[in-house]
Amino acid sequence: MPFAFTEQGIAMLASVLHSDTAITATIQIMDAFVEMRHILLRNGGLVNRLSNVESKMLEQDARLLEHDHKFDTIFEAMDRGELQSKGLYYNNQMFDAYVFVCGLIRQAKRRIVLVDRYVDEKVLAMMLKRGEGVSATIYTYDKSKVFEVDLATYNAQYADCPLKVLPSYGMHDRFLFIDDTAYHFGASLKDLGTNTFFFTKEEFTLEEVLKKSEEIRSKKEFDE
């Protein structure tokens, strides 16, 4: 264990040691303690600010622990196959919502199908969370030139697990199919957590969701 001298200990030591060297050393150490006290008095504001910073860091650590607990709960549920059947995410919960959707994607064993009017590179990044051999298809309407470039770049790099993007017609709501399980989302995947949204697990099939879209597509092709 280390040895430490206190101011009182030095005073006691000086009462029993009387050599010139001991007296000189005692005076120097006492001067150091006095100067230390003066420094603390002169910089009291700095000490308080450091204490405030420490307090804020402890509060931040507590929030991080809370987030870690949420993520652990999600991952434990994933291990048990007990992901939520419905839920509500509030605005500014972008990361929590992102982690939740990525957890759904990781659950897929055969296929992932997303029906979403608006998609971007964030959605492509989410699809990278899927397991090996799991197919991914996106039905979307608003396929911009920028997204086409993003998709081509994605498929060029991940040629062994490409994304298929198909057009959808007359679709407003957003659906995510994990194998045969359907999730209905109140917001596009790229915007999850930006505003408050609700999601639910549904009983309908992909074929039921796409039926009307296929009818509109067929009529459109016939008219053309």
CA distances from 146 to 151, 168, 206 (A): 9, 18, 28
Task: Reply yes or no on domain 62-223 having CATH 3.30.870.
Answer: yes
Alpha-carbon distance of 77 to 92, in angstroms, equals 23
Is this model's pTM higher than 0.75 or not? no
Domain boundaries of the chain, sorted by first residue: 7-45, 62-223
Distance separating alpha carbons of residues 102 and 178, to the nearest angstrom: 11
| Predicted confidence pLDDT, tens digits, the chain (224 residues) | 656 666 667 666 666 767 777 777 777 777 777 777 777 666 666 666 666 766 777 677 666 666 566 556 555 555 555 456 778 888 888 888 888 898 889 989 999 999 998 888 889 989 999 998 999 999 987 667 778 888 899 999 988 888 998 887 777 789 999 998 999 998 888 888 888 888 888 888 888 888 877 776 666 655 65
Surface-to-core class of residue 152, CB atoms within 10 Å of its CB (0-12 exposed, 13-18 middle, 19+ buried):
exposed
The strand ranges marked E within 151-196 are 163-167, 174-178, 181-185
